[in-house]
Structure 1
Amino acid sequence: MAIPESKDALLAAMRKNADVLSKKLAQLPAEKAFEPLIEGHCAGSTISAAQLVSYLIGWGNQVLCWHAQEAAGETIAFPAEGYKWNELGKLAQKYYADYACINCWAEFIASLEENQRQLIALVERYSDDELYHKPWYGKWTRGRMIQFNSASPYKNASGRLTKLLKSLA
């Protein structure tokens, strides 16, 4: 799928990639969800499917946070409060820790699905012009920043899960 360049294309990519991801997550046996069997976000590391979902929820919530900060008239903390763009590995570790207290696979899936609904609702609030016809962060449009942290990582996570599912077969 091409990089979205419109609101409709972004929503389609988000929905399609979330649907594919959901199907992969549903195939994973719950007893394997918390075992570190997936290549991690930091070189040489391994993570569990639960941590992978934590990462997706963390970034989704970060996008929602940016928009809440903007709506409140605050300076947006990119990529996140206390982190720089060259510290994304540390930020991934934070996201894993943020959800480490969840020990039920079904709860992880439900949290991810709710996060996805919130992100779609966010996109639906904006016009095509607001999403794609003016820079929002540096050279990046709002739509591109949302896509970087929703549809793209969903697709990446699906690929990681495909490898995991093949190894378990």
Structure 2
Amino acid sequence: MSAAVALRPLTADLRPAVLALGLGPGQERFSGAPAATVPTGDAHGSREHVVIVEGETPVGYFQLDRHSVPGAPAGRDVLGLRALLVDHAAQGRGVGRAAMLALPAYVRKRFPACRRVTLTVNLGNPAAIRIYRDAGFADTGEIFRHRTAGPQHVMLLELGDAPG
């Protein structure tokens, strides 16, 4: 990895670069490109767009959803992680792992009432499953049967109580 990875809220100046991020071959079944997922997130008032930057350059994107994700625990203290993508040109450098390791601090700062983050990940995506496990997500044992993307593990990251 050449520069530090950080998480930032999507701003107007970062938006064009985020919309240009792309998937690698065959990854369409695991995530949508930001050109499609950002407008979908805009349509939901419950989602915050998060940009993964390496140095000052946007290299990835995801959404945090106040309504959790299908098949996962719901509640006021739960966020759902959706639509994670690391640009095809930035893959293989540890960007996704670094972003997920930075997630707890980002969530605690932006969503102080949040105690858990949930996600679903395709059973056929072992690289993503490994990254999530390495970042502290646990498999709940539940399988969400997505109608088009196929079966998904439901994973949960416990953040614990807020400091103070």
Band of TM-score, shorter chain: under 0.3
TM-score, normalized by length of structure 2?
0.25
Normalising by structure 1, report the TM-score.
0.24
Q: Which has the higher relative contact order, 1 or 2, with Cα contacts under 8 A spaced 6 or more apart?
A: 1
- Bigger share in helix: 1
Q: Which has the larger radius of gyration?
A: 1
